[in-house]
A = this chain, B = another copy of it.
Amino acid sequence: GRVLQTVLRAILDGFIRQPVRIVPVAFAAGILAATGLLMLPVAQADPGSTRFVDALFTATSAIAVTGLVTVDTPTHWSGFGEAVILGCMQLGGLGIMTTAAFLGMLVSRKLRLRSKLMTQAELHPSISLGDVRSVLRFAMLFTLVVEGTFAAILALRFHFAYDLGAGEATWHGVFHSVAAFNNAGFALYSDSIIGFATDPWISLPLAFGTVLGGLGIPVVYELLRRRSQLTWSLHTKMTLAGTAVLLFGGWLVLLALEWSNPGTFGQFAWHERFLPAFFQSAVLRTSGFNSIDVGQLNDDSLLVSMVLMFIGGGSASTAGGIKVTTFFMLMLVIWAEIRGERDASAFRRSLPMPVVREALTVALVYLALNVVAVMLMQRFEPDIMLAPIMFEVVSAAATVGQSTGITYDLGDPSKWLLAIVMYGGRIGPVLFATSLAMATRKRLYRYPETRPLVG
């Protein structure tokens, strides 16, 4: 007991002091271990063992809860291999959710310390083992309840409507429920969820599992603990409102752009088009299942999709991207500027300039890294057009996992590149935002202000 607690305390202290070092190492270690497991002959359906680059890609994709694959999940892997993937998705999702939640706690405590002490200098914020226990317990309980509920619904449906035996139906229910809640997008069907495009009993649990997993621990905690809307934090209100806007906006726009595309929604009767469009909007920003062929989307839909993937889901959730609050803060600044307001505000609270600067920095640096990755991948894959390359890179960076279908055909350099992009896209934004917020402001004097021309 004592020894374990001392060890845990030491790890926690290391995390608190240098999250920007501990987190990347922890995720990398997990990826390497999973790569090793996936390279075991027992992990493969056919005899032999998986190539290192494909095992690494799959492990990274699962732990970074992305869902891109270079080998076909149901045919390539054995039951053991699929179980490894399931474990990776679960640990990866739980890991990033709780890590980001702890980092959020650290930042808010640091800022509280700072506001109390004008000369804060060397005081460091802290997280106790009790905090860790309660956040972990909450996250695990929430995960278990949501995944259990949707796994049960899915399993029943697989059993009764698709004639899967009890064991297989349960396995499929659990696997896809975990994949949905952790926004990991792996599927036990070669064509993802396309076979269930018009079945609400399959696609709605996956869609809502995705959305719930993508809200984030701080939001869910408040929703469950505080009954009255009046006591919700700005972060919760912005995340909920932003998610609703993106969910319904994406639904309508995709429906309009793809209404008569025979390759996508146009293949269904008109009244059957709403469900797959809603599904696409729900999973597109984060979980990466697909119930239509993404490669058949027209280029306009691909562009809209890239924007939505880039935005992603809620902070401290299993979703990726720059996050809903980051995006809407920038929109609110622009909106305030256009209306001639002094401050950007939402729900009768104004946004402090430092946090807006952080949002801008995270968004533009993330954008720049996406552009660099696109340029590298264009070098590696001269025969693939710009649109699918952009889509693939954004999908990897935002840990979404949808693909126009080029992933299987990529060369090894592109697989390495995308693995790095998934890894960086998973832990990058939260670590970067944390270190920006934690940075002690240097330079106590200020220069006089001057104004260059704009436009």
Task: Report A147 CB to chain B, min CB distance, Å.
Answer: 24
Q: How far is the CA of A390 from the CA of B233 in the complex (A)?
A: 41
Of chain B, the residue at the smallest CB distance from A353 is: B353
User: Are A235's CB and B455's CB within 8 A?
Assistant: no
Tell me which of A348, A357, A451, A453 has the highest count of chain B C-beta atoms within 10 A of its own C-beta: A453
Q: Which residues of B contact A303 (CB under 8 A)?
A: 371, 374-375, 378
Stretch of A163-171, A173-181, A190-198, A331-339 that contacts chain B? A331-339
Q: Say which residue of B300, B349, B359, B431 sits within 8 Å of A449 (CB atoms).
A: B349
**Nearest neighbor of A375 in chain B, beta-carbon distance:** B300
9-residue interface stretch from A20-28, A52-60, A76-84, A315-323: A315-323
Residue of B nearest to A107 (CB): B453
Pair B315/A453 contact, Cβ less than 8 Å? yes
| A316 engages B453 (CB within 8 Å) | yes
Residue of B nearest to A324 (CB): B452
Interface residues of A (CB under 8 A from B): 104, 107-108, 111, 216, 218, 233-235, 238-239, 298-300, 303-304, 307, 315-316, 322-323, 325-326, 329-330, 333-334, 336-343, 345, 348-353, 355, 357-362, 364-365, 371, 374-375, 378-379, 385-387, 390, 429-434, 436-437, 439-443, 446-455
Contacts A337-B361, A454-B315; A299 near B386 (Cβ below 8 A)? yes
Does B350 contact A449, Cβ atoms closer than 8 Å?
yes
- CB of A349 within 8 A of CB of B386, answer no
Provide the residues of chain B in CB contact with A454, threshold 8 Å: 315, 323, 325-326, 329, 355, 358-359, 362, 433, 436-437
Instruction: Identify A104's interface contact among B361, B443, B453, CB under 8 A.
Output: B453
Question: Distance (Å) between the CB of A343 and the closest chain B CB?
Answer: 6
CA distance A360 to B348 in the complex (A): 23
Minimum Cβ distance to chain B for residue A436 (Å): 6
Task: Give complex CA distance A341, B385 in Å.
Answer: 41
Q: Which residues of B contact A334 (CB under 8 A)?
A: 360-361, 364-365
* Identity of the chain B residue whose Cβ is nearest the Cβ of A298 in the assembled complex: B378
A451, closest chain B residue (CB): B355
B362 touches A455 (CB 8 A): yes
Asked if residues B342 and A441 are in contact (CB atoms below 8 Å), the reply is yes
Instruction: Give the contacting residue for A352; candidates B216, B341, B451; CB below 8 A.
Output: B451
User: Chain B residue with minimal CB distance to A447?
Assistant: B350
| B residues near A436, Cβ cutoff 8 Å | 337-338, 340, 454
Q: Is there contact, CB below 8 Å, between B385 and A357?
A: no
Contact A450 B343 (CB under 8 A): no
List, in ascending order, chain B residues with CB within 8 A of A336's CB: 357
Contacts of A339 in B (CB 8 A): 439, 442
A300 to B372, CA, bound (A): 9
Known contacts A349-B450, A355-B451; 8 additional CB pairs below 8 A are: A108-B451, A234-B452, A235-B451, A300-B375, A337-B360, A342-B443, A343-B446, A351-B450
Please indicate the chain B residues that have their CB under 8 angstroms from the CB of A431 in the complex: 455
Contacts of A359 in B (CB 8 A): 454
How many angstroms from the CA of A441 to the CA of B343 in the assembled complex? 9
A241 nearest CB across to chain B (Å): 11
Asked if residues B235 and A448 are in contact (CB atoms below 8 Å), the reply is no
Assembly CA distance A453 to B111 (angstroms): 12
A77 → chain B closest CB, angstroms: 33
Nearest B residue to A367 via CB reads B367
CA distance A343 to B431 in the complex (A): 22
The CA of A430 and the CA of B379, in the complex, are separated in Å by 37
CA distance A292 to B334 in the complex (A): 39
Q: Are B333 and A446 interface neighbours, CB within 8 A?
A: no
Which residues of chain B are near A349, meaning CB under 8 Å?
Answer: 447-450
Specify the chain B residue showing the minimal Cβ separation from A328: B452
CA A200 to CA B434, docked complex, whole Å: 51
Residue of B nearest to A454 (CB): B433
Contacts of A453 in B (CB 8 A): 104, 107, 216, 218, 235, 315-316, 323, 325, 433
A219 nearest CB neighbor, chain B only: B453
* Of listed A334, A350, A431, A432, residue having the most chain B CB within 10 A: A334
Q: Are the C-beta atoms of A326 and B455 separated by less than 8 Å?
A: yes
A432 to B455, CA, bound (A): 8
Closest CB-CB distance, A104 to chain B, in whole Å?
5
Is B364 within 8 A of A315, CB to CB? no
Given the interface contacts A337-B361, A350-B446, A450-B234, does A455 sit within 8 Å of B434 by beta carbon? yes
